[in-house]
Chain A
């Protein structure tokens, strides 16, 4: 797939999909360059006034300590988008790796993996994440791993059903009869044909992960100060709720625009394929 065909595919999206695409690209760009365009260092007490309203100097006002909300949002977005992207990559790599093993491996491997994942999937993801955080704590690295592990079973379930379906097809049988090894079957024959539906699943899981991470940070169990993601920003400014401070509304709306954007994009992209 080259760039022109990508642009053509984007142009074919319905309006909702285009809005989603714009939001997604916007947040990727912000995550990449956010800290460089921030008007103030995120930790500096730039404003005398706390919970100040929007002004030309402080576009999104100031927070509960008088820090610039825009600058904190720009650096928080990097944590939210970056950490979630890393976590979803880990989750999908493990989940899909196991799924491929289940599809081309011996039967007992499939049985073992499927039973194990069935067990983990019957622990609601937020509950599972809470137990893991309680046991291991939530440093940046641990938090990423915990969130990734939480979403491995879901990805495994989708990827396994795709992979097992493909592995039964004739062309894979032919490759097997040709004497290809299991690694070749998994990576060359099966994996390339499940990429598209897999990407839709990864996108949805990214949304879940952003929501879980923000939720944990909002509860004070996620990212720990001085680091702050968008959920932490909502948490630290809850005292501004009664006055309707921008400091609490802006990060909450930022999270929503990211997750809604991804959802709109995936919905539009997958519907186009079905038609």
Chain B
């Protein structure tokens, strides 16, 4: 242990975090290049899409020029990136309005759905993970293992179908379409969100629960745990005061991963419940081949993913005393 001053003790981790932030930006730039390239590879372009099949070549050339599509790809790419950076990713081809307006209307809905799902599923996942870790190898753990293993592999639309059948068709408790009410009471709000949150939560709980179990078990095999057990520490104290603080790194990482799983799940869930969120917007953009909208949605999802990973890395660095020494 070095007796460094507080300031220099933090220099190591701050440098590490700064490096991670830099790397995240580089990755985001590369991702944007990949998305731009793929979505620009197709033979027909936006001008063709707008004018339809019956357009003359002259009309298309004129519109291409007007839309700036006849400029070289690198120029268009940098224009596009600049647009995204200042919050103006262009004009939607189908809705004929700025992409930014459409997205800002939908984004809050997806954030609410993701937030509620997180609130609902993370505590349950902890419960599942901790319970199966402390009963490792016994009946409870084995049963939970099979259950989570099956839940990970269930397609969202099966879970959604069963949920709709049980709660809206048979029991008539919940609506089968999620309509976000204006100025809802708490009851209305919960009723509207109960099913999409449950369906999305199934996958998150299973995945996160399994990873939390693995993280705790990795710690349980360490000598310090044996020491604490021999010292007579109660199991509750052992898990919450000794093991969990040491497992923060991997657990935060697992949370970032399973929250990013939420986006994938949201694509199906938002569509099934006709929920006006970002993921169903992206599906519509694919169906109508609205490339500017699609590119913007894809970038938003990728940026969020990178942000989650970055937060997880930062927390792991700050929580790890060994890394903190630099």
Contacts and interface: CB of A to CB of B under 8 A. Distances in A.
B268 interface: yes
Interface of A: 16, 118-120, 122-127, 130-136, 207, 211, 214-215, 218-221, 231, 234, 241-244, 248-249, 252-253, 255-256, 259-260, 262-264, 267
A122 B150 contact: no
A134 B49 CA distance: 13
Given A234-B161, A241-B169, 16 more contacts: A16-B149, A119-B30, A122-B27, A123-B298, A123-B305, A124-B263, A130-B267, A131-B295, A136-B42, A207-B153, A215-B156, A221-B283, A221-B286, A241-B161, A241-B165, A267-B149
Interface string B274-287: 00000000110111
B238 interface: no
Contact of A135 (B39, B283, B302): B39
A63 B100 CA distance: 41
Contacts of A241: 161, 164-165, 169, 176
Nearest to B285: A134
A131 B39 contact: yes
B289 interface: yes
Interface residues of B, number: 47
B83 interface: no
Main secondary structure of the interface of B (DSSP, over half): helix
A134 B294 contact: yes
Main secondary structure of the interface of A (DSSP, over half): helix
Interface string B158-200: 1001001100011000001000000000000000000000000
B159 to A, nearest CB: 9
A231 B155 CA distance: 9
Contacts of A253: 158
Contacts of A264: 146, 149-150
Nearest to B24: A122
A244 B163 CA distance: 11
Interface string B24-63: 0001001100110011011000000000000000000000
21 contacts: A16-B149, A123-B34, A127-B302, A131-B294, A131-B298, A135-B41, A215-B155, A215-B157, A218-B155, A218-B268, A219-B267, A219-B271, A221-B286, A221-B287, A234-B161, A241-B164, A241-B169, A242-B176, A252-B158, A255-B158, A256-B155
